[in-house]
Amino acid sequence: MKGRIIKGFSKLSLTEKRRLIAALCRWPGPTEQEMESYLAEDPATRKSFLELSENTISSFHVPFGIAPNVMVDGRVYHVPMAIEESSVIAAASHAARFWAERGGFTVKQVSTVKLGHVYFRWFTDPLFLHQHWDHIHLFLLDRLKKTTASMVRRGGGVLNLRLIDACGIMEKLYKLELEVDTVNSMGANFMNTCLEELAEGMEAYLAMNNHVKERRYQHIMSILSNYNENCRVTVEASCSLAELRPFAGNLSVDEFAEKIMLAYAIAEGDAYRAVTHNKGIMNGVDAVLMATGNDYRAAEAAAHAFAARDGVYRSLSSCRTVNGSLIISLTIPLAIGTVGGITNLHPLARLALEILGNPNARELMAIVASTGLASNFAALTSLVTTGIQKGHMRLHLSNILNSMNMNADSRKKAEEYFSGKKISYDAVKHFIDASAN
Ligand code: MEV
């Protein structure tokens, strides 16, 4: 066995954890001091980062930038994005400004409804469940009243509770499906509390008929679903074909528009392209979710399931022309919130929401989707004209030079030398070494 099993790591103090990890690294590895140096100076900020999760030894930094001028339903937002990938913010900003000057993005539909399930097995006559469902339903909803009272006061609450026969997935499998409007919160904790309460209620109801004692009922698990195609937002933007001139480069506007349409159509039919196309959307989406303290893993999982909802993985965005106008559109499931979770605990998430003017969840969904669509459009305009590498490479060179700790003079020389040339780490290293000799 290589490496050492560590026992009781979580019980060590912060300093002890760092010391142990530094001691286990091969020489010359990171030091305790280096790990500490990445923590915030301000004690309160440091504490809030350290306490967000477990076994923390330091803080991981990601650039926090702004894509200015994302216009949604006539209102301009300067959108915080947390992302390490170069070019994403620049590209989204460029496209956002273009669309802002043409009326911006409009929201076509938005819903904040969440889903969750109680999975159970039922080993006796299924008729019992169906015949008693009206009673069970009332009994369960009554039990939920106390938990959902404050959500109801905020304008949300239970919308539906269904019994679903899931025997097609597994013999004797059933589920309770709970549909809740969680308004401005993502509602994961709230949903899970409700679902666990439903499971207890189900058990209490069935206990009255000895079903539990006689093992005719087996609760398996209660959990929200991160896939809810109804909790989604659609945004669109349109401009006349002639207005696409700034993106067309050496192409005529008609040729550019044709190539853009073809690029969208390819992503609709070819999964290999659709995944990359959607990755370009998620560049914008995840960066805003990350900046605002939202769960981008949940959004990713849901987006890809939605992209494959008809059995073929397709693009999430589309493009069409109507009467001489180009219309781009994105529909994406987004279970996100502007209250609760880490939105109030993470200092930068709070800051990001303040920069956005403290939007509600629906507004944030629209801002996120618009930024995703701007990123997507920017990527496609590059792909069908200059190619993606041209813009990318300038920043790539800058990152390579940063990693080599170049001084301003050497940087300038390298930038001049590589202008218009292919850039790779080896080529830059070779140039730097040759200039030094
Ligand atoms: C790179 O992060 C994203 C792109 O590959 C997206 C796309 O191809 O549409 C440029």
Check pLDDT > 80 for residue 303.
Answer: yes
* Residues 80 and 165 both lie in one domain: no
Q: Cβ of 170: how many Cβ atoms within 10 Å?
A: 11
Q: Is the CB of 372 under 6 A from ligand 1?
A: no
CA of 400 to the centre of ligand 1 (A): 20
Q: Give the model's pLDDT for residue 141.
A: 98
Nearest to 65 by CA among 51, 52, 84: 84
Q: Give the model's pLDDT for residue 170.
A: 97
Structure tokens given for 378: 């920017």
Residues 6+ apart with CB under 8 A from 282: 299, 300, 303, 372
Q: Is the CB of 379 under 6 A from ligand 1?
A: yes
Q: Is the CB of 275 under 6 A from ligand 1?
A: no
Burial of residue 196 (number of CB atoms within 10 Å: 0-12, 13-18, 19+)? middle
* Residues 248 and 362 both lie in one domain: yes
CA of 278 to the centre of ligand 1 (A): 8
Q: What is the DSSP string of 138-175?
A: HHHHHHHHHHHHHHHHTT-EEEEEEEEE-TTTSTTEEE
Name the 3-class secondary structure at 329: strand
Atom of ligand 1 nearest to the CA of 376: 9
* Residues 382 and 262 both lie in one domain: yes
* Residues 131 and 236 both lie in one domain: no
| Mean pLDDT, range 421-434, rounded to an integer | 85
Q: Which of 259, 279, 304, 413 is catalytic?
A: 279
* Residues 243 and 358 both lie in one domain: yes
Q: Are 362 and 231 in contact (CB under 8 A)?
A: no
Q: Are 362 and 377 in contact (CB under 8 A)?
A: no
* Residues 291 and 191 both lie in one domain: no
CA of 262 to the centre of ligand 1 (A): 16
Domain annotation covers residue 58: no
Q: Give the model's pLDDT for residue 1.
A: 63
Residue 226's φ and ψ, nearest 5 degrees, are: -80, -5
Domain annotation covers residue 4: no
Q: Give the model's pLDDT for residue 204.
A: 94
Atom of ligand 1 nearest to the CA of 388: 10
* Residues 286 and 193 both lie in one domain: no
Check pLDDT > 70 for residue 397.
Answer: yes
Domain annotation covers residue 55: no
Q: Which of 371, 386, 388 to mutate to test the pocket of ligand 1 (most atoms within 8 A of CB)?
A: 388
Q: Is the CB of 266 under 6 A from ligand 1?
A: no
Q: Which amino acid is at 330?
A: L
Q: Are 105 and 71 in contact (CB under 8 A)?
A: yes
**Which CATH number goes with the domain that contains 118?**
3.30.70.420
* Residues 182 and 275 both lie in one domain: no
279 is catalytic: yes
Nearest to 62 by CA among 366, 286, 275, 282: 286
SS3 content of the chain, % helix, strand, coil (to 5): 50, 20, 30
The mean pLDDT of the chain is 94
Kindly state the percentage of the chain with pLDDT values over 90.
80
Nearest CA to ligand 1 atom 3: 280
Residue carrying structure tokens 């009554």: 142
Domain annotation covers residue 364: yes
Q: Are 278 and 68 in contact (CB under 8 A)?
A: no
Which tens digits make up the pLDDT trace of 190-202?
A: 999 999 999 999 9
Q: Is the CB of 388 under 6 A from ligand 1?
A: yes
Tally of domains within the chain? 4
* Rounded Cα–Cα distance for residues 159 and 163 (Å): 14
Domain end marker among 189, 224, 259: 224
Burial of residue 25 (number of CB atoms within 10 Å: 0-12, 13-18, 19+)? exposed
CA of 279 to the centre of ligand 1 (A): 6
| Mean pLDDT, range 299-323, rounded to an integer | 97
Q: Which of 181, 236, 286, 295 is catalytic?
A: 295
Nearest to 119 by CA among 20, 13, 196, 22: 196
Nearest CA to ligand 1 atom 6: 280
| Mean pLDDT, range 304-325, rounded to an integer | 97
Q: Is the CB of 277 under 6 A from ligand 1?
A: yes
* Rounded Cα–Cα distance for residues 262 and 265 (Å): 5
Residues 6+ apart with CB under 8 A from 411: 401
* Rounded Cα–Cα distance for residues 257 and 88 (Å): 22
Which tens digits make up the pLDDT trace of 117-156?
A: 999 999 999 999 999 999 999 999 999 999 999 999 999 9
Dihedral (C-alpha) 420, 422, 423, 424: value to the nearest 10 degrees? Answer: -170
295 is catalytic: yes
Domain end marker among 224, 252, 276: 224
Structure tokens given for 202: 């189900």
Give the side-chain half-sphere CA count within 13 A for 420: 1
Domain limits at 409?
A: 392-436
Q: Are 182 and 114 in contact (CB under 8 A)?
A: yes
Q: Which of 42, 51, 73, 85 is catalytic?
A: 85
CA of 276 to the centre of ligand 1 (A): 6
| Mean pLDDT, range 202-219, rounded to an integer | 85
How many helices and strands (H and E) does the chain possess? 15, 10
**Which CATH number goes with the domain that contains 315?**
3.90.770.10
DSSP state of 289: H
Q: Which pLDDT band holds residue 391 (cuts at 50, 70, 90)?
A: low
Which tens digits make up the pLDDT trace of 14-51?
A: 999 999 999 999 878 899 999 999 999 999 999 989 89
Domain annotation covers residue 117: yes
Atom of ligand 1 nearest to the CA of 273: 8
Which tens digits make up the pLDDT trace of 288-297?
A: 999 999 999 9
Domain annotation covers residue 52: no
Dihedral (C-alpha) 285, 288, 289, 291: value to the nearest 10 degrees? Answer: 160
Q: Cβ of 45: how many Cβ atoms within 10 Å?
A: 15
The string over 50-69, giving b where at least 16 C-beta atoms fall within 10 Å of a residue's C-beta and e elsewhere, is eeeeeeebbeeeeebbbbeb
Kindly state the percentage of the chain with pLDDT values over 70.
99
Q: Which of 262, 273, 277 to mutate to test the pocket of ligand 1 (most atoms within 8 A of CB)?
A: 277
* Residues 176 and 210 both lie in one domain: yes
310 is catalytic: no
* Residues 332 and 413 both lie in one domain: no
Q: Give the model's pLDDT for residue 136.
A: 96
Max Cα–Cα distance, the chain, nearest Å: 89
Structure tokens given for 312: 């073929």
